[in-house]
Copies of this chain bind each other. A is one copy, B any other.
Amino acid sequence: MSRFSERVSAAVAAKNSCLVVGLDPVLARLPAEVTADATGPAAITAFAREVIAAVAPFAVAIKPQIAFYETFGAAGWTAYEETIALAQSHGLLVIGDIKRGDIGSTAAAYAEAHLQRRTDHPTADAVTVNPYLGSDGVRPFVDAARANDAGLFVLVRTSNPSAGEIQALELRDGGTVDERVAALVNEWGSDDGSTPYTDVGAVVGATTSTALARLRGAMPRAWFLVPGVGAQGGTAADIVAAFGADGRGVLVNASRSILYAHEARPDVPWRKAIADAAQTLRDELRDAARAATTP
């Protein structure tokens, strides 16, 4: 298996897409057809199966949000692993949205749990990591990622309304907290430079064009995982500044705007509503990537 960054590059090129579909499954919002046949975590898995099949032609990766699985305890954990295996069987990359982060020995345990390839439990191709504990909370994930041809996306700037409370604090020596984290991401991702991008990416919310350009400048070789498009209000056009000069380097996540696309289109079969939403966003993102390389 090749390095994570190369697998992402290959998938983006093959599908001419930078779309990631986030799986944030909430029972109350699943199509009635799904919840008629299954309950609890079984319904979540059944829905994930249909979503994955519907979006596979348009998306390069699936991002299951583990919080929604944890609400079901051990059975939810099994459903999370089943979702990973389902997506991988469709040739999709899986980004486990786990946002873990802890001191060294504990971070190593998380990295083992979530990135170490094993025969008994499917694991994600990459995970999200929280940087608040600094290098020794992140390095074990970097090491595990490299040992397993997997990747990371470190939270740099998130897309929620209060993200700036800590992330945008201005520092005495210049710059902001998120810029300092970006510098660390650049350092953590440092490698032999043989590929355009590294295996240590960054979560960078679709906030302002200025913020995206600033963080791209600080992390020229990081894959950006950009949340906040769709239900959280960002548009494809907002993220032009996130792309590298080659029109690559960006994965855009949309969750609720795709998963629950059927709610706004009761006249259309729900699988088609989901597939249509994925295709439409894929096309918009393709235009944004093209705009990024147009002088």
Write the residues of chain A forming the contact surface with B, with a CB cutoff of 8 angstroms: 24, 26, 65, 67-68, 70-71, 73-78, 81, 99-107, 109-110, 112-114, 120-121, 130-137, 155, 158-167, 169-173, 177, 180-181, 184
Contact A81 B70 (CB under 8 A): no
* CA–CA, A134 and B169, complex, Å: 11
5 contacts between A and B (CB under 8 A): A65-B106, A70-B114, A73-B121, A134-B165, A136-B162
* CA–CA, A109 and B26, complex, Å: 9
Closest residue of B by beta carbon distance from A165: B134
**A106 in contact with B67 given A100-B99, A166-B132, A171-B172 (CB within 8 Å):** yes
For the complex of A and B, 4 pairs with smallest distance between CB atoms: A134-B162, A134-B165, A70-B113, A67-B109
Q: Select A99's contact among B102, B114, B166, B177, beta carbons within 8 Å.
A: B102
- Which residues of the partner chain B approach A159 to less than 8 Å between Cβ atoms? 103
Contact A135 B106 (CB under 8 A): no
Closest residue of B by beta carbon distance from A103: B160
- Which residues of the partner chain B approach A134 to less than 8 Å between Cβ atoms? 160, 162-167
Contact A67 B158 (CB under 8 A): no
* CA–CA, A107 and B132, complex, Å: 17
* CA–CA, A163 and B101, complex, Å: 12
**A67 in contact with B113 given A120-B73, A131-B132, A134-B163 (CB within 8 Å):** yes
- Which residues of the partner chain B approach A162 to less than 8 Å between Cβ atoms? 133-137
Contact B103 A101 (CB under 8 A): no
**A137 in contact with B110 given A130-B101, A170-B171 (CB within 8 Å):** no
Q: Select A106's contact among B24, B107, B112, B169, beta carbons within 8 Å.
A: B24
- Which residues of the partner chain B approach A102 to less than 8 Å between Cβ atoms? 65, 67, 99
Q: Select A171's contact among B65, B137, B165, B169, beta carbons within 8 Å.
A: B169
**A81 in contact with B73 given A102-B99, A132-B132 (CB within 8 Å):** yes
* CA–CA, A54 and B70, complex, Å: 30
**A110 in contact with B67 given A99-B100, A132-B155, A167-B134 (CB within 8 Å):** yes
Contact B105 A24 (CB under 8 A): yes
* CA–CA, A37 and B100, complex, Å: 32
* CA–CA, A67 and B99, complex, Å: 12
Q: Select A67's contact among B70, B100, B135, B171, beta carbons within 8 Å.
A: B100
Closest residue of B by beta carbon distance from A79: B74
* CA–CA, A172 and B175, complex, Å: 9
* CA–CA, A112 and B69, complex, Å: 11
Closest residue of B by beta carbon distance from A205: B103
Contact B77 A73 (CB under 8 A): yes
* CA–CA, A104 and B163, complex, Å: 11
**A180 in contact with B166 given A130-B130, A172-B171 (CB within 8 Å):** yes
Closest residue of B by beta carbon distance from A136: B162
